[in-house]
Amino acid sequence: VSVPEKTVERLCLYRRVLHQLRTEGVEVVFSRAIADRVHVRSHQVRRDLMIAGASGVPNGGYAVRTLLEDIASFLDGPRSPGVCLVGAGRLGQALLSYFSGRWRWLGITAAFDRDASKCGRHISGCPCYTMDEMAAVIGERGIGLGILAVPAEEAQAVCDELCASGIRGLLNFAPVRLRVPSAVYCEDVDLTMVLEKVAYYARCEEEVEETRGKAEV
Amino acid sequence: VSVPEKTVERLCLYRRVLHQLRTEGVEVVFSRAIADRVHVRSHQVRRDLMIAGASGVPNGGYAVRTLLEDIASFLDGPRSPGVCLVGAGRLGQALLSYFSGRWRWLGITAAFDRDASKCGRHISGCPCYTMDEMAAVIGERGIGLGILAVPAEEAQAVCDELCASGIRGLLNFAPVRLRVPSAVYCEDVDLTMVLEKVAYYARCEEEVEETRGKAEV
DNA sequence: GGGTGTGAACGGATTCACAGCA
DNA sequence: TGCTGTGAATCCGTTCACACCC
């Protein structure tokens, strides 16, 4: 509760870097090395790891293996929460193939779509059901997380259904802010907003560049 | 430069809400109404609008039309920066169809892919070129923004190429932090990280719920 | 020496409180 | 009265500085 949101985000990134280091055969790592790969300061890495309850040895760095365990026991629960996807359109299918087989932990185990022609078969190795089956499948499979990849108009209705089915976390790709019960966590990935933001800052860089050019003259 | 990043993000959201309000025929709006739709406080909305240089009338709210103009003149430049997409795989194609015709401003006008079979034709109404043509097309069309939807291994190489071609902003979907020149702005959309984050907070909600349940007993 | 662990200082963003105005 | 506009205060996250240990 007193864990900064950004710390959680960075821990996910550290973990990814550590996984890669482990496959490279690295056994010990300094905070500085992690920091360089994630583009943050080493202070930040050490504080985050402290918050996560991990510890290293002075002048000896961190043991990759135990660090991964510590981060996992901080971030992950005892069992994997199942993940489902609603909306198997272009974006939904792309997400299915993106997430399929990426980790043992957190794989999409069910998809739902309004279009009956997509249902009853597998898409990227994931079974696709009709919307009517949603509550039942979520209940049976103990699914705890939902990914919304439906049009903006349908998002709130689908969201309500998911929440009623006992979902605890939502990842929303629809360009709408959803109303969720306080017991449900909802994160928005707003693609249109993010592109506009990039456009804004790109323009800023450009203007800085231009004024710099004038200053040189 | 003294504009908070989050303010830029929220302004994008306000704009979207305002566009919708305008199509609904609404001409005047209170900060509170905007706040409710974006899920923030009205204080926040007013401060953001102040930063953007917009103003309303006390007890009279804001005029939707002028508000849109003020936000546009703050966020947008004099001309639209062209946008290109690199990597027309599943995710890339989904992004193409997602962004196609969503606004007049900021549409993807060129795509690039390593796979020759995808090149030379249109995908979701967008011409697809080979990687070799990248620098030329970006130069000719005055493209300023790039979207990376390539595998993690190729991301840095593609990024370097884009930057060398004069790109000013990047939207990166590869799960790697990219090194970019200081004149280029790069925003990461890290889908794996975001899903892990949702899993973490969903678990938090769950635990709060459980302790609450015990407390009631 | 060099790197970790952590209290303390700093800075930036949100929230508060109130002046001003229809 | 009710909403806008904005200085002041608060809160939170990052950065600094230094004690500690190898």
Q: Note whether B147 and B86 are within 8 A (CB).
A: yes
**CA distance to partner chain B, nearest, from residue A133 (Å):** 23
**What's the CA angle centered on B104, arms B183 and B91, to 5 degrees?**
65
Q: Note whether A188 and A172 are within 8 A (CB).
A: yes
Q: Note whether A51 and A6 are within 8 A (CB).
A: no
Q: Which nt sits closest to B33, CA to C1'?
A: D3
**CA distance to partner chain B, nearest, from residue A95 (Å):** 7
Copy the structure tokens of residue A18: 């550590």
Our measurement of CA A60 to C1' C2, in angstroms, reads: 9
Copy the structure tokens of residue B21: 């309000």
Query: What pLDDT shows up at residue B2?
Result: 80
Distance in angstroms (rounded) separating the CA atoms of residues B22 and B30: 14
Query: Cβ separation of A38 and B177 shorter than 8 Å?
Result: yes
Strand D bases within 7 angstroms of protein beta carbons: 1-7, 12-17, 20-22
Q: Which of B173, B201, B18 is nearest to B92 (CA)?
A: B173
Question: Would you give the DSSP letter of residue A133?
Answer: G
The count of CB pairs under 8 A between chains A and B is 180
Copy the structure tokens of residue A6: 């950004």
Q: Please give the single-letter amino acid code of residue B183.
A: A
Q: Across-strand partners of B188?
A: B172
Query: What pLDDT shows up at residue A45?
Result: 98
Neighbouring CB atoms inside 10 A of A206's CB total 17
Query: What pLDDT shows up at residue B129?
Result: 98
Cα dihedral across residues A207, B129, A100, A14: positive or negative: negative
Distance in angstroms (rounded) separating the CA atoms of residues B112 and B168: 17
For residues A28-46, average pLDDT? 97
Torsion on CA atoms B150, B151, B156, B162, rounded to nearest 10: -10
Q: Which nt sits closest to B60, CA to C1'?
A: D3
Chain B environment of A12 (Cβ under 8 Å): 190, 192-193, 196-197
pLDDT tens figures, A111-149: 999 999 999 999 999 999 999 999 999 999 999 999 999
Query: What pLDDT shows up at residue A214?
Result: 75
Our measurement of CA A3 to C1' C12, in angstroms, reads: 19
E strand segments, chain A: 28-29, 62-63, 82-86, 108-113, 122-123, 126-130, 143-148, 169-172, 185-188
Query: Cβ separation of A12 and B202 shorter than 8 Å?
Result: no
Q: Note whether A121 and B214 are within 8 A (CB).
A: no
Q: Which nt sits closest to A57, CA to C1'?
A: C4
Query: Cβ separation of A145 and B205 shorter than 8 Å?
Result: no
Chain A environment of B191 (Cβ under 8 Å): 95, 98-99, 189
Q: Which segments of chain B have a pLDDT < 70?
A: 1, 217
Query: Cβ separation of A191 and B9 shorter than 8 Å?
Result: no
Cα dihedral across residues B185, B190, B194, B200: positive or negative: negative
Compare A18 and B102 and report the one with higher pLDDT: A18
Residue A217 pLDDT > 70:
no
Query: What pLDDT shows up at residue A1?
Result: 62
Q: At what angle do helices B90-99 and A90-99 cross, to 10 degrees?
A: 150
Query: What pLDDT shows up at residue B56?
Result: 95
Chain A environment of B144 (Cβ under 8 Å): 202, 206
Query: Cβ separation of A16 and B99 shorter than 8 Å?
Result: no
Q: Across-strand partners of A130?
A: A113
Query: What pLDDT shows up at residue B1?
Result: 60
For residues A6-30, average pLDDT? 97
Q: Note whether A189 and B93 are within 8 A (CB).
A: no
Strand, helix or coil at B69? helix
Q: Is the CB atom of residue B65 positioned under 7 angstroms from any atom of strand C?
A: no
Strand C bases within 7 angstroms of protein beta carbons: 1-7, 12-17, 20-22
Confidence band for A157, pLDDT divided at 50, 70 and 90:
very high
Closest residue on chain A to B168 (Cα): A202
Q: What is the model's pTM? A: 0.95
